[in-house]
Amino acid sequence: MVTAKKLPKAVVALVAICILAPLTAPVAKASYEPPYTELRIGLFFGSTALPSANLQNVNGQGSGYDFGYFGSDRKFVSIGAWTDVNSISMLMDRNMIWHAGEGGGAGEYREHTGTSTTSVVGCFHVQVGSGHDTFEAAKAAANNYNGAFVRYQDDRFLVLVGQHTTRAAAESAISSMGVSNATVNAGTQNTIVVTRTGTNTILFEFDKGATPFGVIPRRINNEKPETWFKGYRYNGGFEYSRREGALLTVANVVNTEDYIKGILPYEMNNAWPIEALKAQACCARTYALSSLNRHSSNGFDLCVEEHCQVYRGRGAANARTDQAVEETAGMYVTYNGRLTSTFYASTNGGASENVENVWHEPLPYLRGVVDPYEADIVSRVSNYYWTITYTPEQITQRLRGRGYNCATIVGIRVSQYTPTGNVLSIEMTDANGRTWPFRKRGELITALGVPSQRFDIGDSRWDAGNIYVNDPAQPVSTDTQFYGIDGTGAITAVQGGAIYAITGSEEVTIVGGGTSTGGGGGGGTGPVNGVFTIRGAGRGHQVGMSQWGAYSMAQHHDKTFTDIIEFYFTGVEITQTGVR
């Protein structure tokens, strides 16, 4: 590390060590072939399952729907049934009634428990005959009766007439019809009802046992359709099931590349540099395929929240985000031919972290790296540097509220740093002299509520206004310019924040503050002025790629998406498979 002012020889030596350090040997390139080209993405399930779900063709992006189911390969299997109605609703097979949305919001069907039958979608019907082999034959037969529709059941197409709220009413209707081959059909716990949205007009019913009902929009002029659902626009089809006969579980069955297009603008700003977006696209694609079994117990692959990845369809996508996906189509991040877990987070505060110091067992490609690139974007990130304070009483109550039977906390110290300068563990001491240790991300959040593991206690290391070189009493003036020398000999200006060097023992240490971050004990004492003060930087789990770091690499350092990925993930390859 070199500054405009003359540096001590020790610091110059550290720079030489950085330049001469051997590079990681490249990994032999290997291919990866995904098992599916379509993914099942859970939109509503469990506690969010729905009594009904409305679909509407986006104008000019579809005309009606085809009905069927999705096979084990996620490909749509048509049963030959369809509708040309542009706005349909899928309902559980109970007595249901339409409720208009309040304040102009979308309406929904809810279970009807009253006695009125007006506008109710009844769940008892009159079945005429034993069924037909094709949808078209059944539809033609249904035209002979008022209020008739087609039901798919046991691979047959049945003609059902009317809708009644009780079995007795349906039996009475049979008597009045005067037909000899009619029975009451009340459906099963798996039945899905399709109506014209906002009415009690039944268009179709589906029951193939435990097989979920599949719906895909019909194309116009071979254009890729889009469908409105719950205020979002989606590509692909939809799948509905009534798990244990209850409310509707809804999934979007979508091509992998379209899925990534629906993630990218929600996980990264859609106006960011294209190379940063491409890096994010590769990470999102790889993470999705490496996590396919995460929601298998719910009947789909991934959810739409941060638990998996934020997915909202086409709403925020633009030409830039689509370009990033298309230019990286089929690209995955691999290590020795296997998919990696491409974790990412907003910022890392100046260094990422080994995965075993955050969550679980070591992975060779999830190694912490000191990150100089975030220094360029500190001023753009809200609360990049943060401070948390607790009185002894507050931190004691926090611990007691989480099940720790401690006396009043009188001391907090960092007991171990990681080689990249993040906190691995802390110790708290109570008034009885008992020590309370906390280790890794989960326990540190429990104890202190910190947004990252990059912090100190009772220390000004994260004061962005002061940078120290060797002498902790003499900060370098804020108008001093720092420069870094990379492996090619290029010199680049470094902006603000903490500065690091590598010692002769290959230990990463902060240059300044007089505090080594290399694995021993660190800052922390009793309260100062009545409070414990925790100062830190960054927000997120710090494993893998920093999204703001990727922005900086692309925007300020002309780095490509491969440069970004290979910086944050050690020894990986980007491999490409055929896109179908």
Q: Which one, of 218, 229, 242, 420, lies nearest residue 314 by Cα?
A: 229
Tokens encoding 278: 């491409």
DSSP state of 578: -
pLDDT of residue 7: 35
Query: Which whole number is the average pLDDT over 374-398?
Result: 96
Q: Quick: pLDDT tens for 63-91.
A: 999 999 999 999 999 999 999 999 999 99
pLDDT at residue 502, as a whole number: 56
Query: What single DSSP character describes residue 376?
Result: G
Reported as a pLDDT band with limits 50, 70 and 90, residue 400 is very high
- The C-alpha atoms of residue 349 and residue 458 are separated, in whole angstroms, by 18
Coarse DSSP helix, strand, coil percentages of the chain, rounded to the nearest 5 percent: 20, 30, 45
Overall size of the chain counted in residues = 580
Share of the chain above pLDDT 70, in %: 83
Confidence of residue 179 (pLDDT cuts 50, 70, 90): confident
Is residue 77 within 8 A of residue 69, CB to CB? The reply is yes
Q: For the segment 271-293, what is each residue's pLDDT rounded down to a tens digit? A: 999 999 999 999 999 999 999 98
Mean pLDDT is lowest, of 55-59, 245-249, 445-449, 464-468, for 464-468
Main-chain dihedrals φ then ψ at residue 418, nearest 5 degrees: -90, 170
120 closest CA partner among 95, 99, 90: 95
User: From start to end of 124-196, where are the E strands?
Assistant: 124-132, 148-153, 156-164, 182-185, 192-196
Does residue 334 register a pLDDT over 90? yes
Q: What is the pLDDT of residue 488?
A: 65
Count CB neighbours of 30 within 10 A.
Answer: 12
Reported as half-sphere exposure (CB side, CA atoms, 13 A), residue 352 has a value of 27
When pLDDT is cut at 50, 70 and 90, the band that residue 106 belongs to is confident
Contact predicate 388/410, CB 8 Å: no
Whether the CB-CB separation of 259 and 547 falls below 8 Å is answered with no
CA–CA distance, 21 with 14 (Å, rounded to integer): 11
In this predicted structure, what is the pLDDT of residue 335? Answer: 96
Phi first, then psi, for residue 557 (nearest 5°) are -130, 10
The model's pTM? 0.83
Rounded average pLDDT over 557-564: 98
